[in-house]
Amino acid sequence: MKLQGKRALVTGAGRGIGRGCAVQLARCGADLVINDRPGSPDALETAEAIRRLNRDCTVIESDVFSRAGCENLLHRALEEVERLDILVSNPAMSVRGDFLQYDPNQFEAVISGTLVSGFHVSQLVARHMVDRGQGGKIIFISSVHAPRPYAGSVAYNAAKAGLNQMARTIAVELSSHRINVNVIEPGWIDTPGEREVFGTEVIDREGPRLPWGRLGTVEDIGKAAAFLASDEADYITAAVLRVDGALVFRDCLSEV
């Protein structure tokens, strides 16, 4: 129970990686405030999973794709729990398409939903942590798309690369406040969203072909988040932790 007594906010916690992080933080003793979009059918299921672990959980529906939505989220969260020790910032939007035909409006939407939203929620929570004067942990969920220019993902690649550099900058500026700021780069993770995009047949076929013999799980990412949120990671800040089962190096397995 290395997070006993800690209070964490996880955005996008209804399903997928956000849910995996929220549940793992609860397993490690944290009480949770979880966020998902208004009308989400998934947030209550995540909350019940957390409560079955005998941890407190507050659900707040708010649109973190806007500054006003992030302000609403933080205001309501602090009304419920009075303080936040941990933030897992997980807003993201991805629209695939070829660069030459990519819709400029979609490009701006992906950058805003993935990068700008991360700025809004982290800035607001960081201000709260600084005012409290007791440090804190901020963890951004990025992607292996940040260092790797995968075709068909021009906006998402750019947003995640920007997120990494933004997080490092925030880490430098908040170091004097003893607020650790780190990034997790998931690889190919088996989530409901990935199965919607690729289909179960592709997921099941391609998983065994990866270096680790499987896709990653949301639990893999959750465990990394729990580590970075703990005192065990006290001397780690401005780091990018790749959790991908060697996905980005799979081409290295081929002989020239």
Side chain identity, residue 136: G
Per-residue DSSP letter, 157: H
pLDDT digits (tens, 9 = 90+) for 27-55: 999 999 999 999 888 999 999 999 999 99
The token pair at 66 is 């806007």
User: Backbone phi, then psi, for 31, in 5-degree steps?
Assistant: -95, 150
Per-residue DSSP letter, 238: S
pLDDT of 255 higher than 70:
no
Percent of the chain residues topping a pLDDT of 90: 94
- Please, which pLDDT band fits residue 256 given cuts at 50, 70 and 90? low
User: Which pLDDT score, from 0 to 100, does residue 203 have?
Assistant: 94
User: Which pLDDT score, from 0 to 100, does residue 208 have?
Assistant: 96
Name the residue ranges covered by the structural domains of the chain: 7-253
Specify the residue for token string 């947003």: 159
Distance CA 126, CA 120 (A): 10
96 class by beta-carbon count within 10 Å (0-12 exposed, 13-18 middle, 19+ buried): middle
The token pair at 74 is 């933080």
242 class by beta-carbon count within 10 Å (0-12 exposed, 13-18 middle, 19+ buried): buried
User: Which pLDDT score, from 0 to 100, does residue 41 have?
Assistant: 86
CATH 3.40.50.720 fits 7-253, yes or no: yes
Catalytic residue among 102, 150, 156, 235: 156
Q: Would you say the C-alpha torsion 225, 226, 230, 232 has a positive or negative sign? A: negative
pLDDT digits (tens, 9 = 90+) for 76-120: 999 999 999 999 999 999 999 999 999 999 999 999 999 999 999
235 is catalytic: no
pLDDT of 145 higher than 60:
yes
User: H helices then E strands: how many in the chain?
Assistant: 9, 7
User: Which pLDDT score, from 0 to 100, does residue 253 have?
Assistant: 81
Distance CA 131, CA 163 (A): 24
* Helix H or strand E segment including 220: helix 218-228
Distance CA 224, CA 244 (A): 11
